């Protein structure tokens, strides 16, 4: 027997030598949930160890994360119902606590990279990502609202705009408005392949952003489709996207790989709330080892081709990586 692949697995040193995929804390983006008020740290029942922070406690959380090597954060606002309306006007209002928080974070930590989420659902009284009229999601009428939101976020200090709405043409519209307002250096990480997934439940609890009627299948992608992701990716890159996002991650490794093989821009993936919650639930039952399952899940996303991973595991993985040095 001439070929024995096990020879390359016979010791830890050799396994490390021939390891094909390497995951670093530098590859991770941590989602953070922001709530208005003071000294608030609110539990999210379906997301263990993840909280909604008011701004002063979020600053402390970011400081802790920086010590662990996490430098990129995606901020999501939890908005009270009385501030929501059909046109999501609070999203770009001067008094928006989210915009004020961005400024405070950038003043305190100018070195961090802040990413935003651009969609109407956190601010919409209808709970949808686009403008609703007579039960229909209006595509083109939504674009102006998304652009106003993006410009307001860039003005506040956001480094990477993250359009997650899945409206047709929104990347080009947002890019043009950012450039016209002098924000040529603000990046766009386009959610080009965002699927109508069953794994978003804990996130929607965190933001209280469930749609008030129907579902999101008329704009989010069908989980059965893969080639369609290439169509979306091609359009977003042509419209000016700097990076592409696949969401969810673990159930769509084939899509991540497909985009990586077909595009030269960086590919990112959102390891979503349901993926995080199921690992926690199984480990709490004693069915899985939490740290091993977490590390394997993140490594699989990286192996598929993701350059960056937006994940609730970021802090725990950073602690694990530090303990192994």
Average pLDDT of 280-300?
Answer: 97
Average pLDDT of 54-61?
Answer: 98
Confidence of residue 210 (pLDDT cuts 50, 70, 90): confident
Give the pLDDT confidence score for residue 59 in this predicted structure: 98
Count of other CB atoms within 10 angstroms of residue 271: 28
Give the DSSP letter string of 73-140: EEEEEE--GGG-BTT-GGGG-TT-HHHHHHHHHHHH-TTSEEEE-B-STTTBTT-SSSEEETTEEEHH
Closest CA to 256 of 193, 166, 165: 193
Q: State what percent of residues in the chain have pLDDT above 70.
A: 100
Residue 194 catalytic? yes
Q: Examine the pLDDT at 162 and tell me if it is beyond 90.
A: yes
Mean residue pLDDT of the chain comes to 95
Q: Examine the pLDDT at 70 and tell me if it is beyond 80.
A: yes
H or E, element range at 269:
strand 267-271
Residue 217 catalytic? no
Give the pLDDT confidence score for residue 208 in this predicted structure: 81
Give the pLDDT confidence score for residue 214 in this predicted structure: 78
The one catalytic residue in 148, 216, 247, 302 is 247
Give the pLDDT confidence score for residue 310 in this predicted structure: 98
Count of other CB atoms within 10 angstroms of residue 232: 21
Contact yes or no for 210/126 (Cβ under 8 A):
no
Give the pLDDT confidence score for residue 155 in this predicted structure: 98
- Residue appearing with tokens 């909604």: 52
Q: What is each CA distance from 107 to 41, 63, 65, 194, 221, in whole angstroms?
A: 22, 13, 17, 32, 38
If you compute the radius of gyration of the chain from its CA atoms, what whole number of angstroms results?
Answer: 20
Domain ranges for the chain: 21-323
Confidence of residue 215 (pLDDT cuts 50, 70, 90): confident
**How far apart (Å, rounded) are the C-alpha atoms in residues 159 and 191?**
16
The CATH superfamily of 21-323 is Aldolase class I (3.20.20.70)
Average pLDDT of 213-224?
Answer: 90
Q: Examine the pLDDT at 211 and tell me if it is beyond 90.
A: no
Q: Examine the pLDDT at 171 and tell me if it is beyond 80.
A: yes
Average pLDDT of 5-32?
Answer: 95
Contact yes or no for 167/136 (Cβ under 8 A):
no
- Torsion, CA 122, CA 126, CA 132, CA 133, rounded to 10: -160
Give the pLDDT confidence score for residue 58 in this predicted structure: 97
Contact yes or no for 190/215 (Cβ under 8 A):
no
pLDDT tens digits along 105-155? 999 999 999 999 999 999 999 889 899 999 899 999 999 999 999 999 999
Print burial letters for 180-208: b (CB count within 10 Å at least 16), e (below 16).
Answer: eeebeebbbbbbbbbbebebbbbbebbbe
The one catalytic residue in 148, 194, 260, 315 is 194
Give Cβ neighbours of residue 158 (< 8 Å, ≥ 6 apart). 102, 114, 115, 116, 186
Average pLDDT of 200-221?
Answer: 87
Give the pLDDT confidence score for residue 13 in this predicted structure: 93
Sign of CA dihedral 246, 249, 251, 253: positive
Q: State what percent of residues in the chain have pLDDT above 90.
A: 92
Average pLDDT of 296-308?
Answer: 98
Average pLDDT of 171-175?
Answer: 98
């Amino acid at each position: 027997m001439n070929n024995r692949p096990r020879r390359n697995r016979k010791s830890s040193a050799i396994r490390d030598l021939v390891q094909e995929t390497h995951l670093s804390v530098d590859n991770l983006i941590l989602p953070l949930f922001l709530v208005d008020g003071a000294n608030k740290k609110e539990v999210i029942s379906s997301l263990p160890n993840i909280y909604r922070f008011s701004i002063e406690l979020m600053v402390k959380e970011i400081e802790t994360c920086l010590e662990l090597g996490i430098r990129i954060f995606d901020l999501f606002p939890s908005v009270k119902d009385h501030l929501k309306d059909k046109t999501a006007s609070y999203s770009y209002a001067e008094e928006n606590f989210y915009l004020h928080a961005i400024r405070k974070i950038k003043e305190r930590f100018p070195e961090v990279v802040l990413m935003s989420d651009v969609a109407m659902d956190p601010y919409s009284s209808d709970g949808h990502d686009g403008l609703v009229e007579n039960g229909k999601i209006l595509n083109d009428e939504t674009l102006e609202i998304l652009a106003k939101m993006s410009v307001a976020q860039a003005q506040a200090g956001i480094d990477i705009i993250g359009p997650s709405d899945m409206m047709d043409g929104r990347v080009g519209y947002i890019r043009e408005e950012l450039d016209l307002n002098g924000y040529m250096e603000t990046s766009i990480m386009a959610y080009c392949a965002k699927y109508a997934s069953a794994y978003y439940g804990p996130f929607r609890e965190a933001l209280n952003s469930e749609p008030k009627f129907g579902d999101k299948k008329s704009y989010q992608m069908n989980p059965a489709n893969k080639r369609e992701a290439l169509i979306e990716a091609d359009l977003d890159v042509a419209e000016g996207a700097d990076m592409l996002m696949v969401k969810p991650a673990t159930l769509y490794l084939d899509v991540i790989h497909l985009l990586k093989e077909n595009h030269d821009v960086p590919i990112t993936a959102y390891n979503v709330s349901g993926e995080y919650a199921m690992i926690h639930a199984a480990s709490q039952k004693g069915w899985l080892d939490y740290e091993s399952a977490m590390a394997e899940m993140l490594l699989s996303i990286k192996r598929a081709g993701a350059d960056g991973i937006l994940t609730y595991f970021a802090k725990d993985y950073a602690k694990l990586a530090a303990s192994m040095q």
